[in-house]
Amino acid sequence: MRRAWLCLVWCILGPACVNATMSIAQAAAVDPKIDERTWVDHDRRPIPQPAEWEPSFWGQQFRQGFSDPVAHIFDIPDKLLWFTQGLGARRHREAVNVNAFDEVPRSSWFTNRNHMRAVPIAQLRQGPDSVLQPAKPWTIKKAKQGGRNAGFQIKDADGKRWLVKLDARGHAQLSSGADMISRTLIHASGYNVPHNEPVRFSRADLSIDPELLSGAKGDKFTEADLESVLVRGAVFPDGRYSATASLFLSGKVLGAPSMNRLRPGDSNDWYTHRHRRELRGLFVVCAWLNDWDTKDHQFLDIFTETRDSLGHVEHYMLDVGASLGAAAMGPKDPWSGFEHAIDFPWTARRLLTLGFVQEPWRRANQNTGIPSVGNFESKEFQPGSFRPLLQQPAFRELTDRDGYWGAKIVASFSDAQIAAAVEAAHYDDPRASEFLTRTLIERRDKTARYWFARVAPLDFFAVEGSTLRFHDLAVDIGLEGARAYDVELKSTRGGTSQKLRLDGAELPLGKFDKDTPRLELEIRVAGNRARAAYVELTRTGSTWTVTRVRHG
């Protein structure tokens, strides 16, 4: 009996001790400064190149599509935490790479862009690189490997390397248009994406590299192979082909990251990827754009050398063509974006109702009738119910705070910016541009309404003189009219609590006792159940400064 008890104690305490020891050991080995108020998370410190590694594609599909969801259903500790939430237990851990102002500092994963400072239209349209189109003629250097689209790798007339992916036959501009719009908006949101452009080319623009043609270096790609690729591609009425050209990223390809673990050999990679705010918040952006294919292999790590064989890892989001109403082989399946490939809750509902339950995607009128748009809509779109193809671990960890952060990014796009992103796809069919602009605006507004109803959209706190000013984002973007705010104020001196009502987004600070060193404010929208914003103010001399912010 005693031995059994010892075993049990060992089982419980052993891993915890190992965990703690590892933390201490790692902290001792690398001793960087921690500054929770930084706006740059310095994860580009020079390191030797990590070994190439990526999770197995099919293994990951099995894990994210089947074993993880099943494990989650039978996750007893998670259920215990759910039961004890009333006692203060937190089931979901908050994102770890968030600074004191509840924002994501700039890093090799993310750069704060549109929600911090509106990206100019020209810059938004340009995307990640200054070059606009691959210069013709093109020389085919290699056949495309992997993925469902037909395509090939080319070297353009300027010597740049691109990956060309053809749109599915009968659907010119479907995937390439969706890719262009999504990559433009995702890049402006702050994520790293490769420079993709929709292109048109004719057979005469192509030639096959002689070495590839002869198979001198192993790979062989003949004229017949090229014909078999082109025959699968979409053609414009003038006979040219419709495709996406993706500029090769500079640096050494390391492979896709795993959302469940850190990259081996990358000592800058500190935070488990599913606990990164920008990856959790990406759920909201993907929901907006219906970017339904977000498996780990849609990301790519690149080693960028800076000096003396040392460098750092940059993290990119790839291949966003499976978004809006598109899929690689044509219009997306109606259920894409509404259900996971293996969706246990919906499967159970269908099973138990003998198939008589009507899923939202069946109610939704998704068929636009526009070949270059595919299946897309906004009426049945529920921002919180978006489901990517596979359960993305980072998305599963999403909390309201992460969701609010993502919604703030989505809401930051103006109608003009959305229209510019759509225009960048150069649709031949004017119905496509009009429909996509309108639908994206409607989805953006739905996204903002949904998340701003969960977390009070009170943000950008700043002290001007002796007044604390903030923004009500819902008011700023016109979702709500002017409204009042309830403030619960706690001063650390004596721990007194005071309640105030504000008629506008400003709070005079002059009336507070000069001896009060710090103020804690809990601000909520009057008469609204959205979770409050928490602000901490610290006095230095006669000046107040905002030292901490938390949403929800």
Partner 1 sequence: MPQAGCGTYPRKVISHLFNPYNWGDAIDLARRPLILFLLFCLWSIGSARADGRFGTPDWVAPDSLHGNAFALDGPRVAPRDHERGWETALRAPFRVVTLPVRLLASGLEMGIGFLGPRYLDPKVKAPPRGGFKLTPNIAYGAPKDMGIGPALSWSGLPEVDAHFKLAGSWSASDRRRASLNAELGERRPLALQLRATYDYEPNRRYFGIGNDTQESQRSYFLLERVSADATVRLGASPLRQLRLGGGSSSMSPRRGTQDSPFLEDVFAPGITPFEREATGALWYGVSGDLAALDQGRDPSRGLHARVDLRRAMGMEGDDPDFDQWRLEGRAYLPVFAKRRVIALRAVYAGVEPKGDSPTLPFYRLAASEGGNRFAGFASERFRDRQLLLGRLEYRWAILYRLNAIALYELGEVAPHKRAFRLKSAHRSYGGGLRFGLNETRTLRCELARSDEGLHAVVALRGDF
Contacts of partner 1 in 335-354 (CB under 8 A) = 335, 341-343, 347, 350-351, 354
Question: Residues 118, 210: contact at Cβ < 8 Å?
Answer: no
**Distance in angstroms (rounded) separating the CA atoms of residues 443 and 384:** 12
Which two three-digit tokens encode residue 341? 């490939």
**Distance in angstroms (rounded) separating the CA atoms of residues 197 and 212:** 25
Q: How far is the CB of 226 from partner 1 (least distance, A)?
A: 12
Which two three-digit tokens encode residue 410? 């989505």
CA 450 to chain centre: 18
Determine which residue in the list 51, 67, 214, 382 makes contact with partner 1, applying CB under 8 A.
67
Determine which residue in the list 132, 462, 484, 526 makes contact with partner 1, applying CB under 8 A.
462
Of 1 and 11, which has the nearer Cβ to partner 1?
Answer: 11
Q: Which stretch binds partner 1 (CB under 8 A): 72-80, 133-141, 206-214, 233-241?
A: 72-80
Question: In 231-334, which ranges are continuous DSSP H helix?
Answer: 277-289
Q: Which stretch binds partner 1 (CB under 8 A): 7-15, 284-292, 378-386, 515-523?
A: 7-15
Distances (CA, A) of 261 to 130, 257, 393, 446: 34, 8, 10, 33
Which of 65, 113, 173 has its CA nearest to residue 432?
Answer: 173
Determine which residue in the list 202, 214, 250, 306 makes contact with partner 1, applying CB under 8 A.
306
Which of 191, 294, 311, 208 has its CA nearest to residue 250?
Answer: 311
Scan residues 127-146 and list those touching partner 1 (CB under 8 A).
Answer: 146
Q: How far is the CB of 43 from partner 1 (least distance, A)?
A: 7
Please list, residue by residue across 182-194, b when 16 or more beta carbons sit within 10 angstroms of its beta carbon and e when fewer do. Answer: bbbbbbbbbbbbb
Scan residues 98-117 and list those touching partner 1 (CB under 8 A).
Answer: 98-99, 101, 105-106, 111-117
**Distance in angstroms (rounded) separating the CA atoms of residues 251 and 236:** 35
Question: Residues 318, 299: contact at Cβ < 8 Å?
Answer: yes
Scan residues 145-174 and list those touching partner 1 (CB under 8 A).
Answer: 146, 148, 150
Q: How far is the CB of 157 from partner 1 (least distance, A)?
A: 27
Q: How far is the CB of 12 from partner 1 (least distance, A)?
A: 5
Scan residues 11-50 and list those touching partner 1 (CB under 8 A).
Answer: 11-16, 19-20, 22-23, 26-27, 32-46
Per-residue binding letters, 181-210, with partner 1 (x by CB under 8 A): ------------------------------
Q: How far is the CB of 19 from partner 1 (least distance, A)?
A: 5
What DSSP state is assigned to residue 249?
Answer: P
Q: Which stretch binds partner 1 (CB under 8 A): 237-245, 313-321, 464-472, 519-527?
A: 464-472
The site for partner 1, by CB under 8 A, has a size of 110
Q: How far is the CB of 21 from partner 1 (least distance, A)?
A: 11
Of 21 and 133, which has the nearer Cβ to partner 1?
Answer: 21
Determine which residue in the list 158, 238, 308, 464 makes contact with partner 1, applying CB under 8 A.
464
**φ, ψ for residue 280 (rounded to 5)?**
-70, -45
Determine which residue in the list 3, 5, 28, 58 makes contact with partner 1, applying CB under 8 A.
58
Per-residue binding letters, 469-508, with partner 1 (x by CB under 8 A): x-x-x-xxxx------------------------------
Scan residues 379-438 and list those touching partner 1 (CB under 8 A).
Answer: 411-414, 416-417
Q: Which stretch binds partner 1 (CB under 8 A): 265-273, 279-287, 378-386, 434-442?
A: 265-273
What DSSP state is assigned to residue 30?
Answer: -
Determine which residue in the list 131, 441, 463, 509 makes contact with partner 1, applying CB under 8 A.
463
Question: Residues 538, 440: contact at Cβ < 8 Å?
Answer: no
Residues 6 or more apart whose Cβ sits within 8 Å of residue 439: 376, 377, 378
Which residue has tokens 């082989």?
329
Distances (CA, A) of 174 to 87, 335, 406: 51, 18, 26
Question: Residues 321, 165: contact at Cβ < 8 Å?
Answer: yes
Scan residues 276-295 and list those touching partner 1 (CB under 8 A).
Answer: none
Determine which residue in the list 72, 93, 217, 431 makes contact with partner 1, applying CB under 8 A.
93
Binding of partner 1 at residue 372 (CB under 8 A)? no
Scan residues 531-550 and list those touching partner 1 (CB under 8 A).
Answer: 543, 545-547
Scan residues 442-461 and list those touching partner 1 (CB under 8 A).
Answer: 459-461
Of 39 and 497, which has the nearer Cβ to partner 1?
Answer: 39
Q: Is 471 exposed, middle or buried (0-12, 13-18, 19+ CB in 10 A)?
A: middle
Which of 184, 188, 222 has its CA nearest to residue 206?
Answer: 222
Q: How far is the CB of 238 from partner 1 (least distance, A)?
A: 26
Which residue has tokens 């960087």?
32
Of 229 and 245, which has the nearer Cβ to partner 1?
Answer: 229
Q: How far is the CB of 235 from partner 1 (least distance, A)?
A: 18
**Distance in angstroms (rounded) separating the CA atoms of residues 395 and 435:** 28
Determine which residue in the list 49, 246, 272, 433 makes contact with partner 1, applying CB under 8 A.
272
Of 410 and 432, which has the nearer Cβ to partner 1?
Answer: 410
Residue 415 is which amino acid? D
Of 15 and 48, which has the nearer Cβ to partner 1?
Answer: 15
Scan residues 205-244 and list those touching partner 1 (CB under 8 A).
Answer: 228-229, 232
Question: Residues 506, 470: contact at Cβ < 8 Å?
Answer: yes
Give the per-residue SS3 of 395-440.
Answer: HHCCCHHHHHHHHHHHHCCCHHHHHHHHHCCCCCCHHHHHHHHHHH
Question: Residues 529, 545: contact at Cβ < 8 Å?
Answer: no
For residue 237, say if its preceding peptide bond is cis, omega within 30 degrees of 0.
Answer: no
Of 262 and 453, which has the nearer Cβ to partner 1?
Answer: 262
Radius of gyration for the chain, computed over Cα atoms and rounded to the nearest angstrom: 26
Q: How far is the CB of 378 from partner 1 (least distance, A)?
A: 19
